[in-house]
Structures are given as C-alpha cells and as structure tokens.
Amino acid sequence: MKKRQLGSSELLISEISLGGMSLSTDKKKAAEIVDMALDAGINYIDTADLYDFGSNEEIIGAILGKRRQDVIVATKVGNRWTEGVEGWHWDASPSYIKEALHASLKRLGTDYIDVYQLHGGTIEDDWDGIIDTFEDLKKDGLIREYGISSIRPNVIKRYLPASSAKSVMMQYSALDRRPEEWLDFIASEGASVVTRGTVSKGLLTNSWKERLQRVNGFNTYTADELTAVLSGLSSHYDDLHALAIAFNLKEPTIASTVIGASSQEQLAQTLSAYEKINTITDFKAANELTKIEQYMDHR
C-alpha cells in the first residue's frame, strides 16, 4: 500500500483509508474488518464523535489496542448531542471543542488524536476562536494535526489561510467533480484532500446496475444520464471500482481516498480494485471520463 504526505505535515497516510462510519456495531465483525485493513497496509482510519453517538470511536479504540501507535486516527468535532435527546446541533465553540476532544480521547482509549477535524462549519462561526483552540490543542500534544470536513468553498477559503490545517475532507468522485476548482488553492495552503464518496454510493463499482435501481439520480445526473455514463465507462474498463480509485488518486492534492466497509467482502473488493489501478496506464480512465463528461455537457 503506497502512502502520501498529508499536506506539509510529517504524516504519511495510505492511499486507501478505512472509513469508520460503515463499521458494524458488532465488535467482532468490526474487528475483523479493521484487522484486515491494517494487515493490508491501511494506516489511516477516519471516524467522528457523531458516528453512532460515540460508540464508533469506542469500538475502533478497543480494536486498535496495542496497534494504536501504527495507525493514524482521524476523528471530528462540531456536532453536539445530549444523551436522551433526539438529534444534534452545531457547536464549534472553543469550550465545546475542548470538551469534545477529551471525550473522544477517552472513547478511543488514547492520549492523542492524529488528525482532528472540524465536522462542517459556517461562515458565521468564530473562526479565530476555532483556529486558536486547535492550535492550543496541538501545542499541548493532544492532537498532532488538524483539518476540516467540508465542501463549502467560502468556509475552506476562510479557514485554510488563517490556520495551519493540513487536511480537507470532502466528497469527490468521477461523478462529483465540483472540488476540482479548489484543489490548487488547497495545495497552495499546505493542505491535502482526503476524499469521501469515492465510489458514489456504489455507482462506480461493477454493481452499478443494481445500485442504479435504488436511486433516481446522483449529483446533477438523472437516472437516464447515469445509465449512459456508466454504460460508457463499463464498456471501456472492466472494473469501475478500480477506475473510481484511480480517478481520485490521479490528483496530487489528494492524499487518500476514504472508503467504508461494512463487511470483509466489501473491504476485499476495495483492496482488489486498488491493486488494479496501475493497470490503468497513465490513468487513461480519467481521459475517457472527460470524453464522456463532454458528451454529457452537450446532451
């Protein structure tokens, strides 16, 4: 498993990362997936305090155990909930960030977080206070680096220049190319992107026909348009999963693709697809997709 530098930090993370949100709440099943990922060379696991209202962090922390030092753990903060009360609300106040960090440390069974991410954000937030808080946590050794999970360009453009954030987690795939216009800016600020939604809810896998039956469309595509695009791609490439990963990793600003797995079988499919990406010579997949996108633009 190849690794890439996360922004200008000293962290080297695997090109494929494990997304924790899809993990089973059954600790045995979750452990089988995490252990399989680590054995395959994945060293970056992404979770959030909001996932299963903290239990996702607890499960991951319990599984890692003595392997903790070999793993770069990323978690998130900002969505606040109260025990016994339905739902959650946004709270990016300095006091809550500090409170939530200590709660995440306890659940994960560790004394530091490798990458602490703001789980969203609005332009009205107290960005000076947020950034000062993350910087203080870094100075105290409670976090190694910090970043943000957001697809809002106004937020990203406010956050990065004023901070030493090293990561931006955002949805990006061959079917959702909106972030491309921001990649150069993110790189110029010393940060990398870690992507989510790489396989577009399974549409960019060989099970796309089955997945397509469950959706009316995706992003700006209607179901009919998706059929045309995915048929075109599958006629040129025998593994859309590999294509999806190759498409994302062709971008030097992208450090890793975060892909979830709810079973060992799903993870095995991702690992198999990753092994095939070098067979897509010079990422011809990207060129082919561009042709199909041009066709779609003139539909």
**Catalytic residue numbers, as ranges:** 51
Q: Which residues contact 58 (CB under 8 A, 6 or more apart)?
A: 107, 108
Q: How far apart are CA 134 and CA 37, in angstroms?
A: 29
For 175-213, give one letter per residue: b (16+ CB within 10 A) or e: bbeebeebbebbbebebbbbbbbbbbebbbbbebeebbe
Q: Which residues pair with 194 in a beta bridge?
A: 169, 256
Q: Which residues contact 128 (CB under 8 A, 6 or more apart)?
A: 162
